[in-house]
Structure formats: C-alpha cells, structure tokens
Structure 1
Amino acid sequence: MTPPALHSSIDLVGGKPAAHQAPPASAPVAPRRRARPHPAWGLLVPALALAAVEGLVRAGAVPAHLLPPPSEIVATLAQLAHADLAWHVLASSLRVAAGYAVGALLGIAIGAAVGLNERIAALLDPTFQALRAVPSLAWVPLLLLWLGIDEAPKLVLIAIGAFFPVYMGAASGIAGVDRKLVEVGRMYRLGSVALARRVLLPAALPSLMTGLRNGLSLAWMFMVAAELIAASKGLGYLLSDGRETGRADIVLAAILLLALLGKFSDTLMRRLETRLLAWRDDLARAK
C-alpha cells in the first residue's frame, strides 16, 4: 500500500513519481506606456475657435467691423504680404533678437553672480526684485527722454523685458544646486571653472532654460510696447496703424503674426532645451 505522503509525488496519468517544483516566479511587468497625443491635437482648440467666430459673424450675431471673420483676416494678410509685411516682420524679429541677446546674457551673468555669492545677492537682489515689478510701459517715457525715438530705446526696453526672467532662472537655479554635488566636486579637486562647468551649470540648467523661455516670450511683449510708442515699421506699428484707421482686420492680423512668431521661437527654444537636458529622466520622458 502506497503511503499517503507519496500520493502527492506520483503522476496519476503515467504512474511515475514527479519531482516537486516551485511555481515559476512571475517576471516583473513593465509599466505600460500610454501613447503620446499627436501634435495636431494642439490645433483643435484654435480651429474650433476660428470656426465659431466665422459662423457667428456670417450669421450676423457679431458685428463684422468689430470682429472680422478669419477669412477676412487671411485676405488682409495676403494684401499686406504683397506690400511691406515682410519688412514689418523682419524689423520686429531683429529687434527681439538683439534685445533678447543682450538681456539674456546680462541675466545669466548677474544671476550667476547672485546665486554664487551671498554678499552680491544681499547687495543686488532686493533692487532687482523691486524693479521686476515695474510695468513695461512705465519705462517708455524715461527711455524716450534719455535715448530719443530711434532704435536704442526699443532695444533697451526689450532687453529689460528679457533680463528679469533669465536673471531669476539663473539665480534660483544656481542657488538651488544640491550642496552634496558641490562637495563631491571639491573632493575631486575641481577648480572654480571646472566646478561651474561640470557641476553647477548642468544642475542649474533646467531652471535656467525655463528662465530663457520666459524671457523670450516677454521680449516679444516688450517689443510691442516699444513699437506702439514710436516706430515706423514693425508689428507694433501695424497694431497702432490699425487702431488709428479703425481697421480691426489689420489689428487681428498683427496679433496673429505675433502669436505665430512667438510660438515658433518658443518651439526652437524648447527643442534646444530638450537637447541640452537629454540626460534628465523626468516625468515627461516616462510617458
């Protein structure tokens, strides 16, 4: 008679003993990544808004002289393109590029000094925090008095707009670097330049890139403020000209161009950010 303890080790089909095996360990299941939305999703809201405006104006619910339909704005852009629209776009773009370059470089330099040195921070940061709250239009009369109505006040105003976000990004980014990383760099006897290049700058780069992107958007805003006051060409001049002549279609066409140029420049800056921060394993890359 077979002992009861052996029944569990006998194959009931073949009558042969079967070795005890531990249940196979389940392999770790990788988290399922959700499919990223197509970039065309970003066009859905503007397309619906434009279609709604077109329908409301065509139906007579909205006066056409106050809010021209998108089809009329496209026609206005076509007319301006045959005139001097390219020169207006080029003038505004060059002003933004020059003013942004100056403001960003100063913001990085002074922000880095404030972030690295507590004495410099105590000396300069309160003043910059106070000046940061001054509206853009408040600078215009002073700049016109000091620099006249040529290109200089426009470039200075754009540089002021770009300076403060970049300054904040650089100062907060460097001041927020983990102290353990700095101590490790000093253990490896890195000099000041090597420590800044290999430790401080990479650690502060996410905050700095955010400041650079915000500074670029403010540069476009301050450019409009500068050209609204005194300019004979540029998108801000088109806005002023449309207001004075009662042409809402020109005003909206200029606003549309500003939005497209701002989005294009921010896309370039975002691609640069993605490339420089390719080492970062953040939530956006995990999706």
Structure 2
Amino acid sequence: MSQQIALKPSTHSSVLIDESQPTSFWQFFKHSRVLYWLVGSIFPIILLWLWHVSVEKNWVNPLLLPAPDLVWTALKDLYSSGELWSNLKVSLSRIAYGFSAGISLALLLGLSMGLSKTVEAYLWPIFKVINLVPVVGWIPLLILLVGIDEALKIILIAKSALVPMTINVFKGVRNIPQSLTEVADVYQLGTWSKFKNLVLPGAFISFIGGLRLSLASAWGALVAVELLASSEGIGYLMVYGRQIFQLDVVLATVIVIGLVGFAFDVVISLIQKRFSAWNTQQ
C-alpha cells in the first residue's frame, strides 16, 4: 500500500514535466533570434518568388529584368574572375580611410561645440549649411578643387560620416546629467579630471550610438560617388554593367552592395549591444 502511494506522485510529476516541455520550448523559440530571422526572411523569399514567376511567365521583358539564375551565374562569374573582389577591395579601402577621417573630425567638432557655447555659436551655422547640401551637390565643386582621384571619394565619404557622428557626440556632451556635474563641482575635480571621468564617458556612449548611422551614410555616399566619378570600385562595376547592357551584372552588384551594407549594420549592432550592456553595468 505504501509502495503504491509512493509511486503515484512520481508518475504524476513525470506527466507534469512532459506537459511543460512544449511550453518551455515555445517560450524559448518565441524569445530567441530564430523567430526574428524567420519572420524577416518571409518578404525576401516572396520577392524572389515573384521575380522568378514574372520572368518565367513573361510578365516583364527578360532583357530588362534577368532571371534570378542568370544573376546568380553573373555573380559567380564576377567572383571567379576576381573582378568582384578587386573592385570591392577598392571600395572597402575608400570607406576605411573616409570613415576614419570623418569620425575623427566629428569627435573633435562634437566635443568642442558640446563643451563651449562660443565654439558652438561660430561653428554650428556653418555645420548646418554643410549638412543641408547633399553629397551629390558637392561633387562638381570638389572635382574643380581636388580632381576626380581618390581625394574626392574620401572627402565625400568623410563628410557623410561626419554629420551624424558630430550631432551624436555634441548631444552626448550636452545631455550629461546636471546632478553628475554638481557632484564633480562638490568634489572640486580639475578640468582634466572632469573631462576624463564625466565628458568622455558621455561622449563615448553617444559615439557608439552614432556609428551605425554614420557608417550607413558613408557607405551610401561611397556608392553614389563611384557611380558618378570613378573608374574602379563596386559602384563603377554597376555602371560598367549598365553601359554594356548586362543587367544581370547590375543586379549582381546591387546584391553585393546590399549584403555588404547589411554586414556592416550587423557588426555595428553587435558593438552597440556590447557597449550598452557595459554602460548598464556601470
């Protein structure tokens, strides 16, 4: 009799464990990144299917919209010939130089205007004018000043990265809580100590937040300037495909541009999450 009573709870508990497993699995699946990526892949899959069907059913002219398999073949040919990597390497080197120069100058401008209202009064109007002129609008003037070589591309990339980063750093310095400033005054911290322990952490968090937008702007500016004034690079490869009327090459380069931009965004997003967690712990 006692043995039967002892067995009943164990049997009942096993049933409870089995019933809880589907719920726990669904909770894990719901809160994991798998569901996020699955939902995000629905629209690209539908778009790819509509692309395939529209070409197969002759809803559009195949000369204007090549089939997906032709674009994939063109992408493999560009890769196997080395033409894709050689042009992409040029573009990546340009983005590295221009983006580095842009964010370095943005740090200087953002900190200067954030710390001094006098500097802000002098520089902010000029900065706003530069910001309101699009990248393409600077190309004719810069061609006259620096020519059509690498300096043109790097300056325009740097300008595109400069604007959002400067605004982020400027706001980060100005948005330092007043309570922290008052604590620093109570402890009579020196100028360098305030800058190191108060201004730099606030500016750095804003700097990390501005990386994503700055890099996206710089990448878009690079493609634009290579489309208009370049003899090499991923943007030029797209123009070359259009000139010889190989739209499969054009679409292949569009895919590469999108994938590289997406990779940039993912990397910056991971960096932001890491430093956001660090800031929360601090």
Query: What TM-score do the two structures reach when normalised by structure 2?
Result: 0.83
Amino acid at match of 2:77: Q
Higher helix share: 2
Partner SS, residue 68 of structure 1: coil
| Residue 35 (1) aligns with residue 34 (2) | no
CA distance in 1, matches of 2:192, 2:68: 54
Does the CA contact (< 8 Å) of 1:114 and 1:124 recur in 2?
Answer: yes
Does the CA contact (< 8 Å) of 1:57 and 1:68 recur in 2?
Answer: yes
Change (3 A) 1:278 1:106: same
* Number of the residue aligned with 2:146: 147
Partner SS, residue 236 of structure 1: helix
| Residue 53 (1) aligns with residue 51 (2) | yes
Instruction: Provide structure 2 residue ranges, at least 5 long, that are not aligned to the other structure.
Output: 1-26
Q: Which moved more, 1:131-140 or 1:172-181?
A: 172-181
Q: Which moved more, 1:216-225 or 1:176-185?
A: 176-185
Does the CA contact (< 8 Å) of 1:182 and 1:200 recur in 2?
Answer: no
Q: Which moved more, 1:213-222 or 1:199-208?
A: 199-208
Does the CA contact (< 8 Å) of 1:108 and 1:170 recur in 2?
Answer: yes
* Number of the residue aligned with 1:255: 254
* Number of the residue aligned with 1:189: 188
CA distance in 1, matches of 2:193, 2:275: 18
How far has the Cα of 1:206 moved from its partner?
4.0
Task: Please list, as runs of the form range in 1=range in 2, the aligned pairs for 1:196-211 lying within 5 A after superposition.
Answer: 196-211=195-210
How far has the Cα of 1:176 moved from its partner?
1.5
Higher alpha-carbon Rg:
1
Task: Please list, as runs of the form range in 1=range in 2, the aligned pairs for 1:1-287 lying within 5 A after superposition.
Answer: 35-38=31-34, 39-41=36-38, 42-83=40-81, 84-281=83-280
How far has the Cα of 1:272 moved from its partner?
1.6
Partner SS, residue 190 of structure 1: coil
Amino acid at match of 1:239: M
Partner SS, residue 82 of structure 1: helix
Change (3 A) 1:238 1:185: same
Amino acid at match of 2:44: P
Query: What TM-score do the two structures reach when normalised by structure 1?
Result: 0.81
CA distance in 1, matches of 2:201, 2:276: 8
Percentage of pairs with the same residue = 33
Partner SS, residue 279 of structure 1: helix
Q: How many residues align?
A: 251
Does the CA contact (< 8 Å) of 2:87 and 2:234 recur in 1?
Answer: yes
Deviations 1:16-66 (A, max 9, x none): xxxxxxxxxxxxxxxx99624425233332222112211221121122222
Instruction: Provide structure 1 residue ranges, at least 5 long, that are not aligned to the other structure.
Output: 1-31, 283-287
* Number of the residue aligned with 1:19: none
Partner SS, residue 230 of structure 2: coil
Change (3 A) 1:206 1:50: farther
